[in-house]
Amino acid sequence: MPATIIDGKALARQIREEIRRDTEIFLREHGRPPGLAVILVGDDPASKIYVRNKARACNEVGFFSRQEHLPESTSQKDLIDLVEFFNRDNLIDGILVQHPMPKHIDEATIFRTVDSRKDVDGFHPLNVGNLCIGQECLVSCTPMGIIEMLRRYEIPLLGKRAVVVGRSNIVGKPMIQLLLREHATVTVCHSRTVDLPGECRNADVLIVAIGKPEFVRADSIKPGATVIDVGTNFIKRNGKNVQVGDVAFEEAKEIASAISPSPGGVGPMTITMLLSNTLQAARWHVK
Ligand code: GUN
């Protein structure tokens, strides 16, 4: 039987409507909407699209948003000054500095400069540490979106074998912590894993975030598993530019019991979790 398609777009629409209603209440109670500042340094074409989509999503739910587009040549000091300006700005509850930044800027320093209570990316070491020890914190949006997707599709994690392919700071590492929090048995695989297909075939829930187009094939999937594809890759097919995930979707959907496509799966959920984090940060800010 072909798999259930996990529709991230529809889920995101539903959650954004919930956030829009909560935003109206916030506005009535506090006389201002939640506010998000998004900073982009340089002209990376994909980042420009992501940043525009983030600002659009903010407007849709009624947030205040500010976009700062700085030239590639911006110095680290000027970027730090701008982040510190938003740290002090009472109309701004969340700050996001788009990754990747130009090579002369040390990203870790920038992420540490963002006030941890406004760190809607969940990248500040305080938030990363609090996630590891199970304390209240802001959590990286992509893994949070995946957990929310699994929860709303009632896919169980307790006692299940979850395999995460990829160990990035943005997705893989926080994903491990969130799966542990849900009582899954977690394995993490990466480029040096000896038998990647074999490890993947153990997974009840397989989460793939490696940035390699259609890398995970049907023979790496246990029949009946849930597959979450985090990849966003652009390839040329039949002379056309097409977007594909890290999983070979057409063959995987014949083996899995549920699968999130790319596009239309994790992507819309990520931006939705950014809105959710911003609302959370705003509630803390007014307290
Ligand atoms: N670039 C790709 N994904 C992300 C993200 O989640 N946050 C930021 N700041 N930059 C990104």
Residues forming a β-bridge with 208: 165, 229
Kindly give the distance from the C-alpha atom of residue 170 to the centroid of ligand 1, in angstroms, as a whole number: 7
pLDDT score at 201: 98
Strand order in the sheet with 94-97: 64-70, 35-41, 94-97
Kindly give the distance from the C-alpha atom of residue 98 to the centroid of ligand 1, in angstroms, as a whole number: 5
Is residue 38 classed exposed, middle or buried when 0-12, 13-18 and 19+ CB atoms within 10 A define those classes?
buried
pTM of this prediction? Answer: 0.97
- Tens of pLDDT, residue by residue over 195-232, are 999 999 999 999 999 999 999 999 999 999 999 999 99
Closest ligand 1 atom, CA of 170?
Answer: 6
Nearest Cα residue to atom 11 of ligand 1: 99
Question: Which CATH superfamily includes the segment(s) 141-267?
Answer: NAD(P)-binding Rossmann-like Domain (3.40.50.720)
Cα distances (Å, whole numbers) of residue 231 to 131, 216, 277: 24, 11, 22
**Residues annotated catalytic, as ranges:** 54, 98, 121
**pLDDT over threshold 90, residue 1:** no
Place of tokens 């930044």: 101
- Tens of pLDDT, residue by residue over 10-62, are 999 999 999 999 999 999 999 999 999 999 999 999 999 999 999 999 999 99
β-strand pairing of 35-41 with 64-70: parallel
Sign of CA dihedral 20, 229, 96, 188: positive
CATH classification code of 32-115: 3.40.50.10860
**pLDDT over threshold 90, residue 266:** yes
Which band of pLDDT confidence, cut at 50, 70 and 90, is reported for residue 2?
A: confident
Q: Which ranges constitute the DSSP H helices of the chain? A: 8-30, 45-61, 76-88, 107-113, 125-132, 141-152, 172-181, 196-200, 249-252, 266-286
- Tens of pLDDT, residue by residue over 103-128, are 999 999 999 999 999 999 999 999 99
Domain residue ranges of the chain, discontinuous segments joined by +:
32-115, 141-267
Ligand 1 pocket at CB < 6 A: 96-99, 121, 141-142, 170
- Tens of pLDDT, residue by residue over 238-265, are 999 999 999 999 999 999 999 999 999 9
Q: How far apart are CA 183 and CA 112, in angstroms?
A: 30
- Tens of pLDDT, residue by residue over 50-107, are 999 999 999 999 999 999 999 999 999 999 999 999 999 999 999 999 999 999 999 9
